[in-house]
Structure 1
Amino acid sequence: MSRILVVDDEEPLRTLVARGLTMDGHTCLMAADGAEALDILIAEKGRFDLLLTDIRMPLMDGIALALAAKQEFPELTIMLMTGYAEQRERAKSLEAIISEVMVKPFTIADLRATVMKVIERSIG
């Protein structure tokens, strides 16, 4: 299946998301913020099928991460998660580089289905 980098500053949610995605056979690495995620992306030479990141995080938010990741790895598929309306508005300006914005709260079933759809579209 796919390699996914899951980024969220809330450890319980990050772990829950990764566990849910591994149920579908995906391999998940995790990061607590955008800076850590960017370090992982660089160390792994961008070899991920999906970057799944929260928008609102300390140090480097998900939008800054998405911009930096796309600049470094143009083929990387990126999906955002947020529970904040103003963050969804910020993400709209990134439609060219973002495949999907998942609105929190979501069910693991919805997340799994959306991730599968995004990955299928990217290899389409």
Structure 2
Amino acid sequence: MPRLVVVIDDERPIRDLVSSLLTEEGYPVRTYSSALAALQDITSGAVQPDVVLLDMRMPGMDGPQFADALRGYSSEIPIVVMTAARDARQWAEAINAAGYLPKPFDIDWVLDTLEGIIGPPDVSDGASKFALLPLAPRLHGVLRDLGDRGGRALTHPPMAAPA
């Protein structure tokens, strides 16, 4: 089953960047500009995230308020703090987050954090960057011959050196 990542950030460029990055890596993503809208979808069962990437400073419901409300609904959904504040680690500790991502993002840190929390993306759903293609019947023979000849494919007998 695909591991759904919910991204909550009031800044559209951040949402788009994170969504694009994670989608390219094979994670399904749902984005929200409002923590309240995300909370409503999660608590109604319309969205069932495996992890929430949460901005801390937003208008309306901010990150800590969202985290408190989500914990009242389910303590099983991990939250990862996203913030440009220098005290990202303190924010994460304050809401008992599974991790934190300081802005601007380091792409490898984002991916490593997600893989550490929910595992790698599920590539069995066709999101893989690579696909196995069936071999043409003639190619089977060529590969077999290469194996039989130690990697050398000869179509003509070796020519004798000129005298």
TM-score, with structure 1 as normaliser: 0.84
Measured after TM superposition, the shift of residue 45 of structure 1 is 5.4
Distance 2:79 2:42 in 1: 12
Aligned residues: 118
Distance 2:12 2:32 in 1: 9
Residue identity over aligned pairs, in percent, reads: 31
Would you identify which runs of 4 or more consecutive aligned residues in structure 1 move more than 6 Å?
none
Query: Once superposed, what is the RMSD of the aligned Cα atoms?
Result: 1.7
Measured after TM superposition, the shift of residue 89 of structure 1 is 2.9
Distance 1:53 1:68 in 2: 13
Match in the other structure for 1:101: 100
Contact 1:79 1:100 in 2 (8 A): yes
Report matched runs for 1:82-121 at 5 Å: 82-86=83-87, 88-95=89-96, 98-120=97-119
Measured after TM superposition, the shift of residue 46 of structure 1 is 5.6
Match in the other structure for 1:35: 36
SS of structure 1 residue aligned to 2:95: coil
1:85-121 per-residue CA deviation (whole Å, 9 max, x = no partner) reads 35643432223xx10011111122321221111213x
Alignment gaps of 5+ in structure 1: none
Distance 1:46 1:63 in 2: 20
Contact 2:36 2:61 in 1 (8 A): yes
More strand by share: 1
Alignment gaps of 5+ in structure 2: 120-163
Q: Which amino acid is 1:32 matched to? A: S
Match in the other structure for 1:2: 3
Larger gyration radius, structure 1 or structure 2: 2
